[in-house]
Amino acid sequence: MAAAPSPEAAALAARTIRALTVDAVRHASSGHVGLPLGCAEIGVSLFSEFLRHDPAEPGWPDRDRFVLSAGHGSMLLYSLLHLSGYAVSTEDLRSFRQLHSRTPGHPEHGLTPGVEATTGPLGQGITNAVGMALAERMLSARFGPELVDHRTWVLASDGDLMEGVSGEACSFAGHLGLGRLTVLYDDNGITIDGPTSLAFSEDACRRYESYGWDVQEVDGHDPAAVRGALERARLSEDRPHLIRCRTHIGFGSPAVDTHEAHGTIGDEQTDQTREALGWTLEPFEVPDAARGVFRANAARGAELRAEWEQRRRRALADPSVAELWEQMHRPVALEDVVERLPDLRGAGSMATRKASGKVIGALARGVPSLVGGSADLSGSNATGIADSAVVERGKFEGRNIHFGVREHAMAGIASGLALHGGFRPFVGTFMVFSDYMRPAIRLAAIMRQPVIYVFTHDSIYVGEDGPTHQPVEHYASLRAVPNLQLWRPADGRETVAAWRAALERTQGPVAFALSRQDLPILEAEGVERDALRGGYVLSSESGAGDPELVLVGTGSELHAALEAANTLASEGLRVRVVSLPCLERFLDQDPDYRRQVLPPASPRLVVEAGVELGLAQLLRPGDRFQGMSGFGASAPWSELAGEFELGGDAVLRTARAMLG
């Protein structure tokens, strides 16, 4: 750690952060002043002494990670990045919350140098940080402390600790003993509606102690106390750390200790705050001495990075280490995937979840970055990596992660693994529980993180478990998320294509919807190739001219469409069957290809065991959708096709009606 700045210099740095905050919020006529004013001393201590970082190389692999989970306090982070020497300029601060600015209302990963995760929805940042801390331990177990030896720091709010997802994640972190994770808890006793006592009266410290965390309590405005707590956390690695920092929200402003500090203070209050700070400089003006407080630690970070680069060169002189490092820190190479994908032609009927398990097993041998697990359903989801250990406390060499019944945290932790780098994470559960994961999935899509979600038991054909476990609206729900691809393969061969597409994708997440029940293996040539386009002609009509009807199916319903088409074809009708394993991928194809697959002049019957929303964009006047309009029922799956008119005979009746 760097030498502590003098008390006078640290105080000046804290005042500078507060002045920059009120200047930026006034200039934008928008923003949150409360947390930056209240946590300035915390930020100064962390960024001037403890954070291992190099602003000149924000992506240095062995840097410490800092996550502002309380993203509404973004001006604290932007001020710290600016003062430390990141590429966040004075003009960027002036552009706070403006269009195309590097300083949006909440921190956005990939937009602002030094921002490790997109935060704002409370509880998500701290959950991502758990994933980052786990990634550090797992990589260190593979490469040793010479290459991987850093920490994860979080600044969280009362709201973060209220959100259930943070409890899930922090329970998991305590279970694994992630001792390089430190959470600074800004306990100011105020939320937007008023004092936290309106709804929050538990002893959070005792809760975290029960999770297995080391807990400290300090005055957040006392630099020496904060420094001492951070030092204790730095020197102890047997369990994660919670440092409860008692602060005054809006410190130094007329709105101090009130819920008004959660929003924008007016011009008069801004002037009063600057006066209370003794601040007479022009807006956004920064004293050189304040920059100096942070630049010493930044210079130390540059030296640490240079030393690390030397260690990396020595370590990577070993060809086996170099190959593994390269494989885990670059996108998955096509040759690593294609050569290892299983050939499932002629394999007989197989549930697509089981086909997915076969693909995972085959890929794991050639893609060492592939790690994952499920929310207490590894057997049902077929997510286990054979011949690999389970990640346990003190034993992080494994690739199988047991998340417990914590779907929401699982998804956020997976994003943290991806954000950290070095891993391609996949996580699994029943598809109906994707609802529990949706906020984290949405943020993964925003952050363009290549997380893979393995959702099994994908339809009403779950059967006897009944409507509580039978997804019907979930395809539409997931298809509504921009930059998320949903694959619902119809057989094992399309499942192979889905996995290939997922591993090749680097700029966003992918979700699989996989069957519980066995499905026949498709016999057509080129399924694995054609399915990569998201939609393709599986069965062509005979004769000249456009087809009289196009049957479009996804997942298990594709086989019902094939059954109906075979009957109609035997009667001399020109009927085409189109498989649509991934709507988003199909819509990304060029218009000519889409017209070739779905001729504009031909009526369409789209079949899927879900609600119409989502696939409705394929329908035109006169087209039909055959699916679910309500929830399912508890019964053997084979009886549900008849009950809800999703079998081949029901599709045939609808097709005949459309053909007249």
Contact of 486 with 454, CB cutoff 8 Å: no
Q: Is 190:196 a contact under the CB 8 Å cutoff?
A: yes
Contact 548, 659 (CB under 8 A): yes
Question: SS3 helix, strand, coil % of the chain, rounded to 5?
Answer: 45, 15, 40
Under 8 Å between Cβ of 566 and 618: no
Q: What is the 3-state secondary structure (H, E, C) of 55-103?
A: CCCCCCCCCCEEEECCHHHHHHHHHHHHHHCCCCCHHHHHCCCCCCCCC
Rounded CA separation 340/361 (Å): 10
Q: Which residues contact 136 (CB under 8 A, 6 or more apart)?
A: 148, 150, 151, 152, 180, 420
- Strand 485-487 relative to strand 194-195, pairing: unpaired
CB 358 within 8 A of CB 450: no
Nearest to 77 by CA among 154, 191, 151: 154
Residue 138 CA to residue 600 CA, distance in Å, equals 52
Q: Are strands 370-374 and 400-402 parallel, antiparallel or unpaired?
A: parallel
Verify whether residue 407 is a known catalytic residue. Answer: yes
Angle between helices 164-176 and 204-211 (to 10 degrees): 40
Quick one: three-class SS letters along 462-530? Answer: HCCCCHHHCCCCHHHHHHCCCCCEEECCCCHHHHHHHHHHHHHCCCCCEEEEECCCCECCCCCCCHHHH
CA pair distance 140, 41, nearest whole angstrom: 32
Three-class SS of residue 588? Answer: coil
For the purposes of burial, counting CB atoms within 10 Å of the CB of 195, is it exposed (0-12), middle (13-18) or buried (19 or more)? middle
Place of tokens 């494994």: 398
CA nearest to 109, candidates 409, 443, 332: 443
Strand partners, 65: 152
In 10 A of CB 465, how many CB atoms?
A: 15
The pair of three-digit structure tokens given for residue 401, joined into one six-digit string: 């992660």
Chain centroid offset of residue 1 CA: 31
Q: How many CA atoms lie within 13 A of 7 on its CB side?
A: 5
Q: Are 397 and 425 in contact (CB under 8 A)?
A: no
Q: From the candidates 108, 116, 136, 407, which is the catalytic residue?
A: 407
Tell me which residue has tokens 């599709």.
651
Q: What is the largest CA-CA distance in the chain?
A: 91
C-alpha 11/C-alpha 14 separation (Å) is: 5
Active site residues: 407
